[in-house]
Amino acid sequence: MQLYKSVVMIYCVFFSIDSVAQSEAIHSVISNDPEYVTASKTTTSHRPDTEVVVETELISEINPQSQQQNTAEKPSAVTPSEKALSPEFVAVPIVFSTETLSTTFGAAGVLKHAGQPQAVALGIGLYSANDSWLSYAGFYHYQLPELDQWLFSAELFRGHYEQGIYYLPNSDLYEPKANDISRVISVGDEGFNKLTMEYVLPIARGKHGAANALGENTTPISWNPLESGVSSISLTPFSKYRELEALAYLADEARGVELAFNWDNRDAKLNSTEGGQTNLTITKGFSVDDDPSWLMWEFEQSAFMSFGSNSWFEQQVLGINFYLADTPSWEQDYKQQQFQQPPSFAGVSLGGFDRLRGYSSKQFTGRSAVNYALEYRVTPQWQPLQSLPVFNLYNIPWWQWVLFAEAGNVADEFTLTELHDDMKTNYGAGIRFEVEGIVIRTDFVTGGDESQFWVMVNQAF
């Protein structure tokens, strides 16, 4: 549901003046992670589980001469001698209408250099005619004194939906299986709290501190993590909840901690042309009330290859992404009512604005999942956006045309055969552009149950 919020915010910020978003799964985007929107049925969603990538300006404190001398002293992330960066605040009104939320009004605000040069703050608030509402606040990349290798971020989301749309295991089956789901409309309350503590390893681009590692990459890309990219380890305690009035018997709370290992070896975060990113996340869910503890892991690998430029395109890039997830603690004995499974809103899932985009948010849930994605991204030489009404109010350095295809599946057994049996596929096209340091992504996808049109922030990978 987090992405949904971002999607709604950005979509309305830049398009509500000329058109209204028609979305059916808007609520789903916001509740579980920020994300979504559809075409024949426009689906908009927000995904707070993924932080918004905002490009910030950093003044390097590294003296070129001291770098050449290879001095042993490591500069602090922010020095008193640096020229301070003034906060930059942008606020935008939000107006849209969807089947789920009805007519909705609100506002969003982004503050760059929020107290520290590398820090960013984001806030969103929405209220609808059917008395649904949501609020989101995020504070990213803060540092504490003497902890130059650390970054701290916090997120808070709350949402209430009078006509929320949810995909849940089919309660009519004695032993429900992955992909056997029911579409349920219910009054729902959702939310989450997250605190991320990230340690940037002092190697490669991280050797001069975590704040410097956030800046633009100016070094050659290699596939040796000791020489290239930013390697980090993060710990994220979290609390999530989802309460459905129509299904009060379902588990409604998840608490736990995420341990993530990440190697970001891309040449650029907003518009990657080479390199890649590797991420392994291990999630431990604690026992809540009568619900047992559980364990889940997710692995994701992306890679990018540039095909250069020509008279039509300034840039051509092929992006590849692979995602694999499993819940090792999964035990399924419905006769004895024994299982160690996360609530469906906190476990393995596919569907939504990031993975298997031809389907609604978290439409498929189960023990394990696999997903393959391929994107062909081109940046045209022609760039008319900066001269168009509304768009000319913002800094839009580039836009991008994208063709993509995906194949994925969710299974209740972690085996090669089960994961690749009866895979779901979809394909689509999109337009993306950078606005004030944020990537706005619009994707039209077909091949699923219905065509989807997503508007959200950040690249899919």
The one-character DSSP state at 3 is: H
Spatial contact of 236 and 197, defined as CB atoms under 8 Å apart:
yes
Reported as a single tens digit per residue, the pLDDT across 112-121 is: 999 999 999 9
| Helix, coil or strand: residue 449 | coil
CA dihedral 49, 50, 55, 57 (to 10 degrees): 50
Query: Which residues make Cβ contacts (< 8 Å) with residue 149, sequence separation at least 6?
Result: 199, 200, 201, 202, 206, 209, 210
pLDDT for position 177: 65
Q: Could you please report the per-residue DSSP string of 45-71?
A: -B-TTS-------------HHHHHTT-
Strands (E), 386-448: 399-411, 424-435, 438-446
Please give the domain boundaries of the chain with CATH numbers for all domains.
2-457 (2.40.160.50)
**Residue 200 tokens, joined:** 């940037």
Q: What is the mean pLDDT of residues 368-373?
A: 98
Across-strand partners of 425? 407
Lowest mean pLDDT among 88-92, 234-238, 302-306, 378-382: 88-92
* pTM recorded for the entire structure: 0.80
Q: What is the mean pLDDT of residues 426-454?
A: 88
Residue 63 has pLDDT above 60, yes or no: no
Helix/strand number for the chain, H first, E second: 5, 18
Q: Give burial (CB, 10 Å; 0-12/13-18/19+) of 351.
A: buried
**CB neighbourhood size of 311 (10 A):** 5
d(CA 133, CA 159): 6
Q: What is the mean pLDDT of the chain?
A: 81
Across-strand partners of 109? 91, 123
Higher pLDDT, 76 or 213: 213
**252 pLDDT tier (thresholds 50, 70, 90):** confident
Residue 7 has pLDDT above 70, yes or no: no
Nearest one of 47, 140, 434, 391 to 272, comparing CA atoms: 434
Q: What is the mean pLDDT of residues 59-85?
A: 43
With a pLDDT cut of 90, the percent of the chain lying above it is 52
The C-alpha angle with vertex 397 and arms to 396 and 400, in degrees rounded to 5, equals 90
pLDDT for position 333: 58
**388 pLDDT tier (thresholds 50, 70, 90):** confident
Spatial contact of 438 and 393, defined as CB atoms under 8 Å apart:
no
Pairing label, strands 294-306, 150-169: unpaired
The one-character DSSP state at 347 is: S
pLDDT for position 320: 98
Query: Which residues make Cβ contacts (< 8 Å) with residue 145, sequence separation at least 6?
Result: none
Spatial contact of 459 and 389, defined as CB atoms under 8 Å apart:
no
The C-alpha angle with vertex 46 and arms to 456 and 99, in degrees rounded to 5, equals 95
**30 pLDDT tier (thresholds 50, 70, 90):** very low
d(CA 37, CA 44): 3
Higher pLDDT, 283 or 341: 283
**Residue 431 tokens, joined:** 């337009």
**Residue 429 tokens, joined:** 């096209």
d(CA 145, CA 30): 34
d(CA 255, CA 167): 21
Q: Where are the alpha helices (DSSP H) in 78-215?
A: 210-213
Q: Is the dihedral of CA 437, 438, 440, 441 positive or negative?
A: positive
d(CA 346, CA 93): 31
Residue 17 has pLDDT above 60, yes or no: no
**55 pLDDT tier (thresholds 50, 70, 90):** low
Q: Which helix (DSSP H) or strand (DSSP E) does residue 193 occupy?
A: strand 181-200
**155 pLDDT tier (thresholds 50, 70, 90):** very high
pLDDT for position 386: 80
Reported as a single tens digit per residue, the pLDDT across 287-342 is: 888 788 999 999 999 999 999 999 999 999 999 999 999 999 987 655 555 678 89
State the number of CA atoms in the 13 A half-sphere of 211 facing the CB.
25
Lowest mean pLDDT among 11-20, 96-105, 145-154, 244-253: 11-20
d(CA 181, CA 107): 35
First to last CA, the chain: 18
d(CA 440, CA 445): 16
Q: What is the mean pLDDT of residues 171-184?
A: 65
d(CA 23, CA 31): 15
d(CA 301, CA 118): 26
Reported as a single tens digit per residue, the pLDDT across 159-173 is: 999 988 888 876 544
CA dihedral 395, 37, 319, 302 (to 10 degrees): 110
